[in-house]
Amino acid sequence: MTERVSTGLPKLDAMLGGGLLPGTLTVVYGATGIGKTHLGLTVANHGAAADAARGILLDLNGRGDSQQHDEYAARLFDWKLRPWTHTVTPMSDPYPPPDQLEAFYCNVLRWVGRVRDFQVPTPDGSLEFDWNWKAMYNHALYTVRPFMYFHFAAGTRRVVVDGVEPMDTPADSIQFFMFDECYRKIVHRDAETLGMEICLPVWRHRAFIDAHRYDHEAITTVLLVTTEETRLEDLLARKVAMGDVGATANTILVMGSERAGSRLARRLCVVKHRGSVMSDEIVEYRIGPAGLELT
């Protein structure tokens, strides 16, 4: 049986046939305030017990820390969520200061909106990314790439991506573009290749690169996507739009609300979990002092 990645929530692990599958992408859909960030932080924090290293959190929200990651992490897990600031430009000293390996949060990819907002027309009538934006974006990657690489090299096997804004057509979203780039070109890039791209000149850092190889196929990613739909029934009926990363994700969870008598109940279910048995239950949950509590 394939070894599973525990979410840190026993009831949810049971619904997932034992947990998430390593190396796969899980997408969690739900409206703002429904508890996605609580779930993501729970998964990331549980890495300390399951993998001997907490997961990392990449925040794509351009409005700053409106998701309250700091407060939640401190209150729920006594976890001081420090921001990663170490930047590695080509041919600079790549190694982060020791305290940066305790920095599990990064929010330098702060752009929101449609892809075309960051594009300009070319003489032939097509569109290409504005060079000024590309320069800023590439400079931000000088922070994101070492953030992921050095944490993976130190044992992290979980990535949580939060702060994705609603978009009618996901293919139009600059956030989905950035996530796709990070997922394909950083998270699931061969460790040796990524190390050689960051640690230049390679001959000087070869010993470090060789000593810190890891299996990128063991890294599990959870993407938290905010939706306009709030009701669970509407989320279950949600159509897959062009560019929706959920179409290719291994696992999909939806978190929504429903009227239950005189109160509003939060409910969660597993929509897809390829390669594994899964529960067809719809379970209620609460957000209590200890975080998500599934009933």
How far apart, in whole angstroms, are the C-alpha atoms of residue 60 and residue 109?
Answer: 6
How far apart, in whole angstroms, are the C-alpha atoms of residue 95 and residue 198?
Answer: 10
Selected residue with higher pLDDT from 295 and 184? 184
Mind listing the pLDDT tens digit for each residue in 197-230?
Answer: 999 999 999 999 999 999 999 999 999 999 999 9
- Calculate Rg over the CA atoms of the chain: 19
How far apart, in whole angstroms, are the C-alpha atoms of residue 91 and residue 82?
Answer: 26
Q: Is the distance from CB of 129 to CB of 138 less than 8 angstroms?
A: no
Q: In the 8-state DSSP scheme, what is residue 212?
A: T
pLDDT at 272 over 80: yes
CB neighbour class for 184 (10 Å; exposed up to 12, middle 13-18, buried from 19): exposed
How far apart, in whole angstroms, are the C-alpha atoms of residue 125 and residue 164?
Answer: 30
3-state class of 165 per DSSP?
A: coil
Mind listing the pLDDT tens digit for each residue in 121-155?
Answer: 999 989 999 999 999 999 999 999 999 999 999 99
How far apart, in whole angstroms, are the C-alpha atoms of residue 269 and residue 255?
Answer: 7
Place of tokens 């320069």: 135
pTM of the predicted protein model: 0.96
**Domain annotation for the chain: domains and CATH numbers:** 10-294 (3.40.50.300)
Interval 4-21 mean pLDDT: 97
How far apart, in whole angstroms, are the C-alpha atoms of residue 174 and residue 152?
Answer: 25
Interval 169-174 mean pLDDT: 92
Q: Which of 189, 186, 183, 160 is nearest to 245 (CA)?
A: 183
Q: In the 8-state DSSP scheme, what is residue 149?
A: H
Query: How would residue 241 be classed by pLDDT, with cut points 50, 70 and 90?
Result: confident
Place of tokens 């609460």: 286
At 290 the pLDDT is 85
Q: In the 8-state DSSP scheme, what is residue 240?
A: -
pLDDT at 7 over 90: yes
pLDDT at 289 over 90: no
How far apart, in whole angstroms, are the C-alpha atoms of residue 213 and residue 196?
Answer: 11
Torsion-angle region of 33 (φ positive above 0: left; ψ -120 to 50: alpha; else: beta): left
Torsion-angle region of 58 (φ positive above 0: left; ψ -120 to 50: alpha; else: beta): beta
Mind listing the pLDDT tens digit for each residue in 48-69?
Answer: 999 999 999 999 986 554 568 9
49 - beta bridge partners?
Answer: none
Count of other CB atoms within 10 angstroms of residue 293: 14
Q: Which of 279, 290, 295 is nearest to 38 (CA)?
A: 290
Dihedrals phi, psi of 195, to nearest 5 degrees = -60, -40
